[in-house]
C-alpha cells in the first residue's frame, strides 16, 4: 500500500567568508519511493548545480556562496511503496551474494566490524540466522545503548558507541551495521526525513540488512516507523550520506528537516 509525504526542509548558515557546499537533500527517486514534485529555493539567488550519482541514484547539490547569510529550502511530495516485511527472510551465503553488495561486508571508518567481530559472535553468533538475528541486534542495541543527544561527535565510531553505551540515531545505526557485517550479513546506513512524536531538529539515520535477496530496513532507536522514512541516501557509513559538506568558514544557524503524511 502506498503512502504520500510532504517534505519541507530548511537550512540556514552564516558565512564568515566565501564557502563551497555539497548537499544531499533531495529525496531519492527510486527503490521503494517516487518523487512526485519538488523544488529548491536558495537565498541569496546564486548559481546552483544539481547532479546525480549514476551508481546509486543519489542527487547532490553544489553551490558557492559569499560572506553573509545563506538559506536553502527544499520541498517535495514523495510516494512510498514499502515492501511487506518477511520475518522468515534468510541470510545468504557469501557465494550467493550479488557483486554490488560485497562492499557492504567490509569494515569502514565508522563501522569497524573487524574490531567488534569477537563481541558480535559472542552476543549473536548462536542465534537463529536471518531476520530474527538482525532484529535481535536491534533489540540489544535499544536495550543497552542510551539515546543521549550530545553524547557523540562527528568522529564517533561503532567501537566508541559499544564502549560508551550512548549515542544518537547515527551511532545506533553504525553499531547495528557493524554487528551485521561481523556476522557476514551485508549492511548499510540509510538517511532520510522521518516522522517523530517529539521531533529532534535533525535528519534520521537507520540501517538496512541484506536478507532473502533484498535490502530490509531496521531502526534500533524505535523513534520512527521505518515504512514512513523518506529516503535521501544509502551508503557504507556516515561519510557517504552526509546531508552537508562544507568547504569554508560557515556556521549553521538553523535546521528544520520536516516531513508530514499527506491526508488520503
User: 252 lies in a domain?
Assistant: yes
Using the predicted structure, report yes or no on whether residue 28 has a pLDDT greater than 90. yes
Count of domains for the chain: 2
Quickly count helices (H) and strands (E) in the chain. 4, 14
Q: What is the mean pLDDT of residues 76-97?
A: 96
- Give residue for cell 521505518: 226
256 shares a domain with 234:
no
Helix axis angle, 117-124 to 169-182, nearest 10°: 80
Using the predicted structure, report yes or no on whether residue 259 has a pLDDT greater than 70. yes
User: 219 lies in a domain?
Assistant: yes
Predicted pLDDT of residue 202: 87
Using the predicted structure, report yes or no on whether residue 164 has a pLDDT greater than 90. yes
105 shares a domain with 65:
no
Which residue range is the domain that position 255 belongs to? 3-81+243-261
Confidence of residue 133 (pLDDT cuts 50, 70, 90): very high
Predicted pLDDT of residue 264: 73
Using the predicted structure, report yes or no on whether residue 254 has a pLDDT greater than 90. yes
Phi then psi for 174, rounded to 5 degrees?
Answer: -60, -45
How long, in residues, is the chain?
Answer: 264
Distances (CA, A) of 15 to 20, 73, 202, 224: 10, 17, 21, 33
Q: What is the mean pLDDT of residues 88-98?
A: 97
Using the predicted structure, report yes or no on whether residue 59 has a pLDDT greater than 70. yes
pLDDT per residue over 138-153, tens digit each?
A: 999 999 999 999 999 9
User: 86 lies in a domain?
Assistant: no
Predicted pLDDT of residue 175: 98
45 shares a domain with 22:
yes
Q: What is the mean pLDDT of residues 79-103?
A: 96
DSSP string, 38-96: EEEEEES---EEEEE-TTT--EEEEEEE-SEEEEEEEEEEEEE-PPPP-TTPPP--GGG
Residue 233 C-beta-side C-alpha neighbours within 13 Å: 22
Using the predicted structure, report yes or no on whether residue 201 has a pLDDT greater than 90. no
Confidence of residue 199 (pLDDT cuts 50, 70, 90): low
The CATH number given to whatever domain includes residue 112 is 3.10.620.30
Amino acid at each position: 500500500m502506498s503512502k504520500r509525504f510532504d517534505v519541507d526542509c530548511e537550512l540556514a548558515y552564516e558565512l564568515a567568508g566565501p564557502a563551497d557546499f555539497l548537499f544531499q537533500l533531495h529525496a531519492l527517486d527510486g527503490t521503494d519511493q517516487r518523487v512526485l514534485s519538488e523544488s529548491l529555493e536558495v537565498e541569496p539567488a546564486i548559481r546552483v548545480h544539481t547532479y546525480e550519482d549514476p551508481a546509486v541514484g543519489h542527487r547532490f547539490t553544489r553551490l558557492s556562496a559569499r560572506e553573509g547569510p545563506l538559506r536553502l529550502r527544499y520541498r517535495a511530495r514523495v510516494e512510498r511503496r514499502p515492501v511487506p516485511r518477511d520475518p522468515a527472510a534468510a541470510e545468504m551465503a557469501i557465494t550467493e551474494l550479488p557483486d554490488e553488495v560485497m562492499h557492504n561486508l567490509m569494515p569502514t571508518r565508522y563501522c569497524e566490524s573487524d574490531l567488534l567481530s569477537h563481541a558480535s559472535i559472542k552476543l549473536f553468533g548462536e542465534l537463529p540466522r536471518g531476520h530474527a538475528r538482525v532484529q535481535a541486534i536491534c533489540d540489544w542495541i535499544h536495550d543497552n545503548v542510551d539515546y543521549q543527544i550530545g553524547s557523540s561527535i562527528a568522529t564517533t565510531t561503532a567501537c566508541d558507541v559499544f564502549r560508551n553505551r550512548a549515542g544518537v540515531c547515527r551511532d545506533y545505526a553504525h553499531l547495528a551495521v557493524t554487528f551485521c557485517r561481523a556476522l557476514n550479513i551485508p549492511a548499510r546506513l540509510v538517511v532520510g526525513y522521518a516522522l517523530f512524536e517529539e521531533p529532534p531538529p535533525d535528519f534520521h539515520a537507520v540501517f538496512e540488512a541484506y536478507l532473502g535477496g533484498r535490502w530490509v530496513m531496521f531502526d534500533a532507536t524505535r523513534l520512527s516507523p521505518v515504512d514512513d522514512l523518506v529516503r535521501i541516501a544509502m551508503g557504507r557509513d556516515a561519510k557517504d550520506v552526509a546531508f552537508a559538506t562544507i568547504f569554508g568558514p560557515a556556521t549553521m544557524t538553523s535546521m528544520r528537516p520536516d516531513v508530514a503524511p499527506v491526508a488520503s
